[in-house]
Amino acid sequence: MSKAAALATGYFVADVVPAVDGCVALPLVWKDKYARSFDVQTLGNGEIVSIGVRGDGITTSDGIGKGSTFDEVRAQYPEEQRVEAGYSQSGIRVFDPENGGWLGFLFDPTISEIRGDCTGDVRRGHEGV
């Protein structure tokens, strides 16, 4: 999604100067009422490449969201492979071959530490650009 299209949704503000001196302005940030539930990552031109969900009550159409267990995610997406996510975490990445988008589910344990029933968190949903 382009910066202009994102701004037109009314959910974002543009060119926000961070509180830390010396950091560059952020092309897009969520308006305050959404900032605790979502994060956004952009390219330098403001194009959205990733939206993260970290708020309660936000789920996929299958009911998977923050607090869903590994077993619940696995039941909805049995064919998807687990991947190492770094920072001692693992994930399940669901890819949509029709639009190139993906949805990732992040878990605190590494792949080798997952024993089922680990709490998950919908973290990134690619816009399919």
- Identify the three-state secondary structure at position 5: helix
Give the domain extent around 90: 70-125
Q: How far apart are CA 70 and CA 105, in angstroms?
A: 9
Rounded to two decimals, the pTM is: 0.70
Answer yes or no: is 25 within a domain: yes
40-88 pLDDT tens trace: 999 989 999 888 888 888 888 888 888 888 888 888 988 888 888 888 8
Residues 88, 47, single domain; the answer is no
Residues 46, 88, single domain; the answer is no
What is the rounded radius of gyration, in angstroms, for the C-alpha atoms of the chain?
16
The total domain count for the chain is 2
Residues 78, 116, single domain; the answer is yes
